[in-house]
């Protein structure tokens, strides 16, 4: 892969990492512990709050995984082996990397 293409993907990955970092910071309160004080809120409201908390925690977990994928892709760029499927070794298409610059598998290996 050419250096200018790698620079484009590096910038895209860094931008994604910054956006995810901001989203993680902004959503920390949503995943906080739910207060279960029955004198303040009703049972259904508490159940809604607990469901919202669980959804926020799952979203935070997925964002952390995406952040790890981005960091791994940046390491692969630095190592000089970015843009290849880790399963079969084929070069990833530009369309695949444009869709998700942190991709580690080709479309064929994603199905297997």
Per-residue pLDDT reduced to its tens digit, 3-46: 899 999 999 999 999 999 888 887 776 555 555 555 555 666 77
* Total-model pTM: 0.77
| H helices present in the chain, as ranges | 3-26, 43-79, 94-99, 107-111
pLDDT value of position 42: 63
């Amino acid at each position: 892969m050419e250096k200018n293409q790698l620079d484009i993907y590096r910038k895209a990955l860094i931008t994604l990492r910054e956006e995810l970092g901001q989203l993680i910071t902004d959503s920390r309160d949503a995943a906080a512990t739910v207060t279960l004080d029955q004198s303040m809120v009703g049972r259904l409201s508490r159940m809604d709050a607990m469901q919202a908390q669980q959804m926020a925690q799952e979203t935070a977990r997925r964002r952390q995984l995406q952040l790890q994928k981005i960091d791994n892709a940046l390491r692969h760029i630095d190592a000089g082996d970015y843009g290849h499927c880790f399963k079969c070794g084929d070069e990833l298409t530009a369309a695949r990397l444009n869709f998700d610059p942190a991709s580690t598998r080709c479309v064929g290996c994603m199905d297997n």
